[in-house]
């Protein structure tokens, strides 16, 4: 379980997570580290994943360009019924039991591009993406489509290690009904300057467990992510996760 947003109260500790090196020739060590991480808490770092630091910086730069646009421009690409497009600040509420307001973040959803008229576009979560006008943000769509493709390849590489950790064939999750034709969602997130204050029920992103198979979280150098390894503990112990470049 995780939450996000610099906290006024701080976490009780800083955690140390296993690091999975996707370039390592020692696949058994990768399997062992990942299995231990999944049994312990479900979180781990991934390095040498094939997405260049230069391109990651371009993605963050392009993301900032969108979120800096006036609200009326961002509202032109408001999230639709296919979960594509812009979500405003306070729009999402991840932990209604403890939050008094929505999350102090805004976001942008991008999925697998399926043209309108294609029979596949009738399925939930499939369909065309929503894009800002090219004259407003030149090159923005191309950057995000490339990032979506490259991140999905990283997810598939991680899934192969997960499969081996479960004593399955390495390509188990490559089947069409899984990652072969994945419902893969890329979310750009912008946390505004609000500091999380649990005593007042204010969070950048409330406590939650993600849905789906894998979440890949690319962070900048600003700390804020916290994880809870045992959601049933009373009281829960929240630990800071330090950002790691690359």
Average pLDDT over residues 131-144: 94
C-alpha 100/C-alpha 113 separation (Å) is: 36
Whether 160 is covered by a domain: the verdict is: yes
Whether 14 is covered by a domain: the verdict is: no
DSSP E strands, 31-176: 45-47, 85-87, 105-110
The C-alpha angle with vertex 72 and arms to 142 and 218, in degrees rounded to 5, equals 40
Whether 87 is covered by a domain: the verdict is: yes
| Structure confidence by residue, pLDDT tens digits, 29-79 | 999 999 999 999 899 999 999 999 999 999 999 999 999 999 999 999 998
Whether 7 is covered by a domain: the verdict is: no
How many separate domains does the chain show? 1
- pLDDT band at 80, cuts 50/70/90? confident
More confident residue, 100 or 87: 87
The CATH number assigned to the domain holding 149 equals 2.60.120.330
Range of the domain at 123: 19-240
Whether 4 is covered by a domain: the verdict is: no
Q: Is the overall model pTM greater than 0.75, yes or no?
A: yes
Whether 246 is covered by a domain: the verdict is: no
């Amino acid at each position: 379980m995780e939450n996000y947003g610099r906290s006024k109260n701080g976490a009780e500790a800083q955690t140390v997570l296993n690091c999975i090196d996707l370039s390592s020739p020692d696949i058994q060590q990768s399997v062992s580290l990942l299995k231990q991480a999944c049994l312990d808490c479900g979180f781990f770092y991934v390095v040498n994943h094939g997405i260049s630091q230069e391109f990651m910086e371009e993605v963050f730069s392009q993301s900032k360009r969108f979120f800096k646009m006036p609200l009326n421009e961002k509202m032109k690409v408001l999230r639709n019924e296919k979960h594509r497009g812009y979500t405003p600040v306070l729009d999402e509420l991840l932990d209604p039991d403890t939050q008094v307001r929505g999350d102090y973040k805004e976001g942008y959803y991008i999925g697998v591009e399926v043209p309108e008229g294609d029979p596949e576009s009738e399925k939930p979560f499939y369909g065309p993406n929503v894009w800002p006008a090219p004259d407003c943000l030149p090159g923005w769509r191309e950057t995000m489509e490339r990032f979506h493709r490259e991140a999905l390849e990283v997810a598939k590489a991680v899934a192969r290690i997960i499969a081996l950790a479960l004593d399955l064939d390495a390509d188990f999750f490559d089947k069409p009904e899984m990652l072969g034709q994945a419902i893969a969602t890329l979310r750009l997130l912008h946390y505004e300057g609000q500091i999380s204050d649990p005593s007042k029920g204010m969070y950048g992103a409330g406590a939650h467990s993600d849905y789906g198979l894998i979440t890949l979280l690319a962070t900048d150098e600003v700390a804020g992510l916290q994880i809870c390894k045992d959601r049933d503990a009373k009281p829960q112990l929240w630990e800071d996760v330090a950002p790691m470049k690359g």
